[in-house]
Amino acid sequence: MKKKSPDNKTIELLNKRRTIRAYSAKPISQEDEKIIIRAAIRAPTAGNLMLYSILKVTDQKLKEKLAISCDNQPHIAKAPLVLIFLADMQRWWNYFELCDVQKKCNEMHVNFEKPQESDLLLACCDALIAAQNAVIAAEALGIGSCYIGDIMENYETHQELLKLPRWVFPITLICFGHPKGDKDKIPLTNRFPVDYIVHENIYHQLSREDYKNMFEGVERKRIIDYAENFGQQIYFEKLGADFSIEMRRSVKVAIKNWINGNQKD
């Protein structure tokens, strides 16, 4: 028997959310947009530093370029509202320059630290947590959304298109729009049973038997015809696919630039 959700509107909203990739022509009102952005910036943020920026894409030509550079996803160009969540350490480091922090460090004979890998991860945490607040606020307003992880691909193109400085990294793009048709008719995607996701105290690696049980009833449609099992299917469809290979290349370049800079800086 299916467990009933508790009688709580927020929990119900979370449990019923699904990704929406087809949008009606109805625009998102300025008031709704403000609510979505306000909710995003009320998200928890490391040290209350807001280590992110939100880039609103309003230029249709730019949306179309992004639809191509983000692994050819036309719904990006059709979304009434497109927000890119940027991990952003640039804002603080520019301010540190204005505040002569480096000079002060020198006077004190302490090392002046530049953003490193940990800062990138922390800023990504901030940006993604804000992004998810935006998704849930939109959902509460009847507005659907779709994350686009492929904004992490083609780093050099996106850096140029969006004029991103060294310590700004686009961690996600989100399309927002009123759902086309009845969104409740879109089936909820399945999830693996909670027992395989939640560990207690220490991490447990799964056995062959665990995998068999975990995937029971949640296997996806086989679309890679040469795959002989579910593992091969997921590898060739997702993690070994061209878009993942490009994302690995692109993120490597971005991290290198974050750490070492390049000629443009």
Shortest CA distance to 136 belongs to which of 8, 5, 6, 10?
A: 10
171 in helix, strand or coil? strand
Residues touching ligand FMN, count (CB under 6 A): 11
- 147 makes contact with ligand FMN (CB under 6 A): yes
**Chosen residue from 189, 201, 205, 263 binding ligand FMN by CB under 6 A:** 189
- 150 makes contact with ligand FMN (CB under 6 A): yes
What is the DSSP secondary-structure string of 14-34?
Answer: HHH------B-SPPPPHHHHH
**Chosen residue from 80, 149, 165, 193 binding ligand FMN by CB under 6 A:** 149
What mask, x for binding ligand FMN by CB under 6 A, covers residues 6 to 25?
Answer: ------------xx-x----
Give CA–CA dist 81/60, Å, rounded. 11
Contact 18, 145 (CB under 8 A): no
The residues pairing with 87 across neighbouring beta strands, listed in sequence order, are: 52, 169
- 246 makes contact with ligand FMN (CB under 6 A): no
Going by the DSSP 8-state scheme, the letter that residue 88 receives in this structure is E
Closest to ligand FMN by CB, 73 vs 159, is 73
Q: In the bound complex, what is the minimum distance in angstroms from residue 175's beta carbon to ligand FMN? A: 8
Closest to ligand FMN by CB, 47 vs 187, is 187
* Residue whose tokens read 């083609």: 154
Residues at the interface with ligand FMN (CB under 6 A): 18-19, 21, 73, 146-150, 172, 189
